Amino acid sequence: MSTPIGGAGVIARENPARTTEIVGVVAETPAAAVSEIVREADAEQRKWATRELPERLAVLSRAAVAIEDAVEELATLLARESGKVIGDCRGEIGFAVRYLRWVAEHAPAAYADRVVDDELGRIVEQRRPYGVVAAITPWNAPVILTVLKLAPALAAGNAVVVKPSPLAPLTVSRVIALFEAPVRVVHGSADTGAALVGHELVRKVAFTGGSPGGRAVAALAGDRLTPSVLELGGNDPAVFLDDAPFDDDTVDRLVMASFATSGQVCMAAKRLYVPASRLDSFVEAYLAAAGRVLVTGDPLADGVTMGPVISAAAQRAAITLRGGPALPALSGGGTVHDLGRFDGDPETGYFVRPALVAGPDPASPLVAAEQFAPIVPVLGYTSEEQVLAAANAGELGLGASVWSADEERAFAFARRFEAGFTFVNTHNRTGMSLRAPFGGVKRSGWGREYAGEGLAEYVQTCVIHAPAAFRPGAGPVSGGPSAYPAG
């Protein structure tokens, strides 16, 4: 929520698990004030870029230590402002620390000059920073998704201005304060973001969020001819081939791949496809797994594995989408199965009972659109061609997964997905790797995070070239001004 205090706007963040509790406040940054902040960042960047790469990487390493030392405090704050369970918050912050150290290890090779000096001439390829990077981050994994932009951008010599989501501004602000580097934070909603992305001194935009926000950011950046990296939404299919096991470990992992962060994850398993002949046994195994691993309640309570959704609006949308016996048409038909158990009082916050919907209409919003809620559909299929067509339907292509007892068969099937990242025999966070580039195809964005490709997003290749024919001591030049290069 955003409320005026003494004439100055603030963002007061409520606890989605206990909505009467205000976790903290941050001052809103008026759109008119963004320009001066960007100009200050631009001036700081010019000094930062002159520091040697080892000095910049030492700053990242010190930030990693500071974040690691504060992990319990930061995780508790993140759980209170976002509704994520405390164990997931610790894991997210720990992963951010790992990524900072990974960048410090791999940036020297990624950002080194590349020199060719041979009979054709001398070429120096420099990896130079853009300048000021605008980083716009979401609320569902705010720390790691901020650090994914901060770490390579700062290592490369850029300055960064971060605009966190107003639904999770507190922990990001604390983390940013631990960097001894040219990184600023602005708070606000669409107007603040537009002022940042559209600023003349912003040279690169990095955005993670939903497709509507991504379209707005891309339009603003495009108007300025500002390059961008966009990681947008997904409607990830999880396809079980006819030999896939339904053992406890496999299905436990699948349940959490859908319901981590209450299903509010871009790369969650959002559509499940199972051979029609095995659908009943799959549903039985899934309900049993949810009974083992899915406990909804206060994110700070021991044993809870799923908290509330982020807001009242998200709760209303999820309840409408979920449907049920009284509202079967809203779920697109099918059978709604309640999952897991609730520990605590569901009336204290924005809680939604998680559900599996078996056999909904494939054209229903539950299947055809990204749910971003703790409801997941399962559908039967009769052939691999049929399920592949269903999995590839739609405009989104972020992630997908294929499950099989035969890894070679799984990889062969995975090659046919229209997805930027395909998991094999797992899905969501358990399948991520720092060395594997992540990003979408189709309308799920462009550019990549993680791995060498993620580092490369924050540098420009600038070339110095001396052709052999014109170097000191070269012989007479043959050909005229229109001659093409030799190689």
Active site residue 266: yes
Catalytic residue among 266, 370, 449, 457: 266
Of 119, 123, 179, residue with least CA distance to 146 = 179
**Residue 454 and residue 344: Cα distance in Å, rounded?**
41
**Residue 325 and residue 364: Cα distance in Å, rounded?**
17
Of 190, 191, 175, residue with least CA distance to 99 = 175
- Alpha-helix runs per DSSP H in 117-247: 142-156, 170-176, 190-197, 211-224
Burial of 220: CB neighbours in 10 Å, binned 0-12, 13-18, 19+: buried
Identity (one letter) of the amino acid at 367? V
Distance set, CA 175 to CA 44, 69, 70, 73, 143 (Å)? 19, 12, 9, 11, 8
Q: The tokens of 374 are what?
A: 């703790």
Active site residue 231: yes
Q: The tokens of 271 are what?
A: 């559509």
Catalytic residue among 231, 370, 449, 457: 231
**Residue 183 and residue 41: Cα distance in Å, rounded?**
7
Rg (CA), the chain: 25
Report, as residue numbers or ranges, the catalytic residues.
Answer: 231, 266
